[in-house]
Amino acid sequence: MALGYDVLLVRHGESESNAAGRFAYRSWDPRLTTKGQEQARRLAEHLCHAPIRYMVTSPLLRARETIQPLADALALTPTVLPELAEVNLGLWDGIRLADLERSHNNEYEAWRRDPEANPPPGGESILAVGGRVLTALEKFVTTHEPGLTIATTHADCIKGVMLVITKSSGPAARTLFVPNCGQLLVRYLPNFRRWVLVLSPVHLLS
């Protein structure tokens, strides 16, 4: 049995929804902006010498476009994992953040304080997001030979993963910031059946 399976979680580059200040889940599947495409290109330059063996991605276009330059550079084909998709925003899907803020929406203000106790109406809690991402990644890595996996996903997915691994509460999500193309390295330890955070640059992984 392998000692551990490494996964580098990467948030997608700037998308049209980011630039417009709008939530985007399923009803709108925006592309990367010109800036986001440049971020994806720089990401590929940064990671092309890392010991990458596998690539997985959210099915959403902004994540797939982010990983494609690196996939082209390494001649790898990303596997789409539906569980890496954006948090389900329920009734807020497609709404501008500024409009929610101006409306003094009590549900929005409660979600901003604690996205675990107060998920969007009809939407998903932050720990549920992290749980589904880690469950999908565990299934993927343990059915493949050991090697570094790159996973392109979304900000709240990465925040949720951190909260699940560190056993933190929902409000802690508001102390985390994941920029476009921000990265988090995690490792699954099959002997202990748990995930850990890895504080190391990817190029130092054996």
Catalytic residues: 12, 86
- The answer to whether 17 is a known ligand-binding residue is yes
- The answer to whether 15 is a known ligand-binding residue is yes
- The answer to whether 154 is a known ligand-binding residue is no
The 148-153 sheet, strands edge to edge: 79-80, 52-57, 148-153, 5-11, 183-189, 194-197
- The answer to whether 13 is a known ligand-binding residue is yes
- The answer to whether 31 is a known ligand-binding residue is no
Residue 115 has φ and ψ, to the nearest 5°, of -75, -5
- The answer to whether 102 is a known ligand-binding residue is no
CA atoms of 12 and 39, how far apart (whole Å): 9
- The answer to whether 200 is a known ligand-binding residue is no
- The answer to whether 62 is a known ligand-binding residue is yes
- Residues in the annotated binding site: 11-18, 62, 112-113
Binding residues for substrate: 11-18, 62, 112-113
